[in-house]
Amino acid sequence: MFSIIRPYIFSLDPEVAHDLAIKSLKANILPKSFFSVDGEEKLETNLLGKKISNPIGLAAGFDKSAEVYNSLFKFGFGFIEVGTVTPKQQLGNPKPRIFRLEKDQALINRLGFNNHGSEVVSKRISNNQPNGFLGINIGPNKETKKKEDDYYICLSKLATYAGYITINISSPNTIGLRDFHDQEEMKKLLFGINKIIKEKKIDCPIAIKISPDINDNEISKIVELVRSHEIKGIIVSNTTDSNRHNLSDIKRHEAGGLSGQPLKDISTNLIKKFYKETKGKIKIIGVGGVDSGESAFEKITAGADAVQLYTGMVYKGPGIVKEIKKDLISILKKEHLKNISEAVGINAWPQCLQELYNTRKKLCLKDAN
């Protein structure tokens, strides 16, 4: 179905096409059964203290103002993240600000946190109970000088309505945002987050979304701060504002964050490094280039407890979720794994443990025959 209408959709400006999708989804007429998958119980897992039907999530950036999340749940997502939400309504950067790189199966965006603001979003979710595990991604307004204060405002306003809150410190489209990757700046931010949690008695897990453009020596420092401030999850990763040298599309030099296939291996390698550093004790959500069961499984075996996609859905349509789930169930059967959680981190193990896993597979194959 999507392959038939895709040429028309791709003839439109990307942001016009996105806005049209949001308007269509507001009708909420799709039957959930259309996207159901047999054997999905093998994909059940736990994420940030919540049991979810599968580890495939929608990344922040599609439903920026929490307008259509219940329609999106019907596509079969195990969880959805809305936002980024800022304290006040924000129009974002000048248009055009989204670009399709079709030759590279990628997007570049410089949207700039356009959203309806925390007051509108909180009322919207309060009046429309989520039909699944809903995360809210938060960030600062562009004009705010003391940006950490905006995180505190959003956390206080939105935590009541969220399954989890994501602290977005990694968008390349807000000046100064990535400064929070600095050890001292992150320490101050997370200390303030913890203070708000205690003062407001917030019972909502917190995740932090990091940049793919960090150095290896920053990983241990980030993990140390995440662990010491009781942050429950790390989202790896946001878009990259570099890594353009291997791209083919003429739009590759547009400013903004690059997502999709060019980010796939970068984020997967980073997931593996974070998994090793955390020893699997902090939940990791993998993002970047997920568009198939194979690419989702790569991130899971690298150490991701769950994955998110966005660009993949732009290119392959809403049926992508169903196809990924079907592929994952087939992969689990092939790998002789009973549940998707058994696959988490198996390719991040030391060589000796990897050999032990391979031996187990061979024994399972022998028993099956």
Cα 115 from Cα 92, distance rounded (Å):
8
Cα 42 from Cα 290, distance rounded (Å):
20
Active site residue 292: no
Cβ count near 74 (within 10 Å): 21
Q: Where are the beta strands (DSSP E) in the chain?
A: 45-47, 50-52, 56-58, 79-85, 98-101, 106-109, 133-138, 164-168, 206-210, 233-236, 257-260, 283-287, 306-309
Cα 113 from Cα 64, distance rounded (Å):
8
Out of 53, 65, 171, 211, the active site residue is 171
Exposure b/e, 179-200, CB count within 10 A at least 16 = b: ebbeeebbbebbebbbebbeee
Tokens found for residue 267: 């984020």
State the catalytic residues.
Answer: 171
